[in-house]
């Protein structure tokens, strides 16, 4: 019989039981559920709402249930309605009458809101740690490649020279903002909904400050209706995760491209690539592709949460049970991706010569050629046009700006002199981009120092 069977004259249909049950996915919150109950029971006794000896029996019983679940001596009953009912029923089975006092002045509505916050608070910490490890890896690899010239792209067309360090530091900055977003979402989980009751608080003289403090929260939530029905924190965390996945997916796309023979900028370690069942020559960047693919599923999780909450009246509605699978899937997916992505970066080989060769081919020093003329007094728009003509000439004759003879330069503009070759040299072009945030080794070193500072502070 159900714990709430009092007003019912029939057993619940088996199909409804299965349909209704959430133990399959909320069982992962067992430790948080038990910790919440321990704090609640201690508060009830301190406030004189239940006898101290009952609270002691509850505490001992709950510790036993926790230990047995951890060791595997106790397994979840798939027929249970949810983790909250399962723990309470098991407790009462073990300690009898006192167990029945645990749920005084509490509802599953404030209980589940609490458990989910406690769970996601921990998950946010883990995600943050994984992001920091990724940023640290990016920083280390970037430090090795301050002088590794590669083409920078816009529209996937070779545009201007950058370095591999500059490129990696760009991603480090994205993940750094992601740490901020995860921390921000976690910050709003720091309020304890316990004591909101089903929706309207309780007539018992509970002490919400005490339970909030005991569970490590900043304060109790301010409004009981909001306390039980707020799932913003799930949505915010899923949103932060979706943005992390979007960044990982962009990076993955580049890794897939860089692994192709068309680019060959990097080679993945054999341990982080896979082969084909039919084509013996293949080495596939499956990890990057899967990360890119899983991004779609995490976007789906976020959309599930937003849509599930849309139009829900106050306060708790059973729809909200659907929050867990979505947010847990987002959490598990991003952790899995980060755990695999970082070592993939750590073990990849950077093919510097290929990057340099690609940079030499795409006229990516054309802007520098125009800037050279501008510095000699030619207005930029004229310089731009003259350089465009020279590029067209090079293409016609199969030359590059580096190999175009000086007389051709001089025929286009008298402002050109021998020193143009120094000005359009790729290394010069990169080193000259000293502007803050730019690709010159000095500028990137400063960016890496900021990243290192962030890592120290987080």
SS3 labels along the chain: CCCCHHHCCCCCCHHHHHHHCCHHHHHHHHHHHHHHHHHHHHHHHHCCCCCHHHHHHHHHHHHHHHHHHHHCCCCCCCCCCCHHHHHHHHHHHHHHHHHHHCCCCCCHHHHHHHHHHHHHHHHHHHHHHHHHHHHHHHHHHHHHCCCCEEEEEECCEEEEEEEHHHHHHHHHHHHHHHHHHHHHHHHCCCEECCCCCCCCCCCCCCCHHHHHHHCCCCEECCCHHHHHHCCHHHHHHHHHHHHHHHHHHHHHHHHHHHHCCCCCCEECCHHHCECCCCCCCCCECHHHHHHHHHHHHHHHHHHHHHHHHCCCCCCCCHHHHHHHHHHHHHHHHHHHHHHHHHHHHHHCEECHHHHHHHHHHCCCCHHHHHHHHHHCCCCHHHHHHHHHHHHHHHHHHCCCCCCCCHHHHHHHCCCCCCCHHHHCCHHHHHHHCCCCCCCCHHHHHHHHHHHHHHHHHC
Taking the complex as a whole, the smallest distance from the CB of residue 308 to ligand ARG amounts, in Å, to: 11
| Pattern 224-263, ligand ARG, x by CB under 6 A | ----------------------------------------
Taking the complex as a whole, the smallest distance from the CB of residue 114 to ligand ARG amounts, in Å, to: 11
Q: Which of 92, 109, 252, 387 binds ligand ARG (CB under 6 A)?
A: 109
Any catalytic annotation for residue 440?
Answer: no
| Nearer Cβ to ligand ARG (165/320) | 320
Among 107-115, 180-188, 387-395, 409-417, which window interacts with ligand ARG (CB under 6 A)? 107-115
Active-site entry in 84, 224, 252, 276 = 276
Taking the complex as a whole, the smallest distance from the CB of residue 318 to ligand ARG amounts, in Å, to: 6
Could you say whether residue 320 binds ligand ARG (CB under 6 A)?
A: yes
What interhelical angle do 232-259 and 286-309 show, nearest 10? 160
Among 178-186, 241-249, 312-320, 436-444, which window interacts with ligand ARG (CB under 6 A)? 312-320
Active-site entry in 9, 71, 155, 435 = 155
How far is the C-alpha of 35 from the C-alpha of 68, rounded, in Å? 15
Which residues ranging from 77 to 96 are in contact with ligand ARG (CB under 6 A)?
Answer: 82
Any catalytic annotation for residue 155?
Answer: yes
| Nearer Cβ to ligand ARG (171/316) | 316
Could you say whether residue 112 binds ligand ARG (CB under 6 A)?
A: yes
| Nearer Cβ to ligand ARG (105/430) | 105
Taking the complex as a whole, the smallest distance from the CB of residue 58 to ligand ARG amounts, in Å, to: 20
Could you say whether residue 22 binds ligand ARG (CB under 6 A)?
A: yes
Could you say whether residue 17 binds ligand ARG (CB under 6 A)?
A: no
Could you say whether residue 302 binds ligand ARG (CB under 6 A)?
A: no
Q: Which of 106, 108, 117, 294 binds ligand ARG (CB under 6 A)?
A: 108
| Nearer Cβ to ligand ARG (274/321) | 321
Size of the site for ligand ARG (CB under 6 A): 10
Among 7-15, 104-112, 351-359, 408-416, which window interacts with ligand ARG (CB under 6 A)? 104-112
| Nearer Cβ to ligand ARG (108/292) | 108
| Nearer Cβ to ligand ARG (30/171) | 30
Q: Which residues lie near ligand ARG (CB under 6 A)? A: 22, 26, 82, 108-109, 112, 316, 318, 320-321
- Residues acting as catalytic residues: 155, 276
């Amino acid at each position: 019989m159900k714990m709430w069977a009092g007003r019912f004259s029939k057993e619940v249909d088996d199909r409804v039981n299965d349909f209704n049950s959430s133990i399959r996915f909320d069982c992962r919150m067992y430790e948080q559920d038990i910790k919440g109950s321990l704090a609640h029971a201690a508060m009830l006794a301190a406030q004189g709402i239940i006898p101290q000896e009952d609270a002691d029996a509850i505490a001992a019983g709950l510790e036993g249930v926790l230990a047995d679940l951890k060791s595997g001596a106790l397994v979840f009953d798939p027929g249970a309605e949810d983790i909250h009912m399962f723990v309470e029923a098991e407790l009462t089975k073990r300690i009898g009458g006192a167990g029945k006092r645990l749920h005084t002045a509490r509802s599953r509505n404030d209980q589940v809101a609490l458990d989910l916050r406690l769970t996601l608070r921990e998950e946010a910490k883990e995600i943050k740690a994984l992001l920091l490890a990724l940023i640290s890896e990016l920083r280390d690899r970037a430090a090795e490649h301050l002088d590794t010239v590669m083409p920078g792209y816009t529209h996937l067309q070779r545009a201007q020279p950058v370095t591999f360090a500059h490129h990696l530091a760009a991603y480090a900055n994205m993940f750094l903002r992601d740490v901020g977003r995860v921390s921000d979402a976690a910050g709003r989980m720091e309020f304890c909904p316990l004591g909101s009751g089903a929706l309207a608080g309780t007539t018992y003289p509970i002490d919400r400050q005490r339970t909030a403090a005991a569970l490590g929260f900043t304060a109790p939530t301010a409004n009981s209706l909001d306390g039980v029905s707020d799932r913003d924190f799930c949505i915010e965390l899923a949103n932060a995760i979706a943005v992390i996945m979007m960044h990982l997916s962009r990076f993955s796309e580049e890794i897939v491209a860089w692994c192709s023979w068309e680019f060959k900028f990097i080679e993945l370690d054999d341990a982080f690539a896979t082969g084909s069942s039919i084509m013996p020559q293949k080495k596939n960047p499956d990890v990057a592709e899967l990360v890119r693919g899983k991004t779609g599923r995490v976007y789906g999780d976020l959309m599930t949460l937003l849509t599930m909450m849309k139009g829900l009246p106050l306060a708790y509605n059973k729809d909200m049970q659907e929050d867990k699978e979505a947010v847990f899937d987002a959490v598990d997916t991003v952790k899995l991706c980060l755990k695999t992505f970082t070592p993939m970066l750590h073990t990849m080989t950077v093919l510097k010569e290929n990057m340099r060769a690609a940079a030499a081919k795409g006229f990516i020093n054309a802007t520098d050629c125009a800037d050279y003329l501008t510095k000699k007094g030619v207005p930029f728009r004229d310089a731009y046009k003259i350089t465009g003509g020279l590029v067209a000439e090079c293409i016609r004759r199969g030359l590059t700006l580096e190999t175009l003879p000086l007389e051709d330069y001089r025929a286009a503009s008298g402002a050109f002199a021998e020193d143009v070759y120094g000005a359009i040299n790729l290394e010069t072009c990169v080193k000259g981009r000293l502007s803050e945030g730019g690709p010159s080794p000095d500028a990137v070193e400063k960016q890496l120092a900021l990243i290192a500072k962030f890592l120290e502070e987080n």
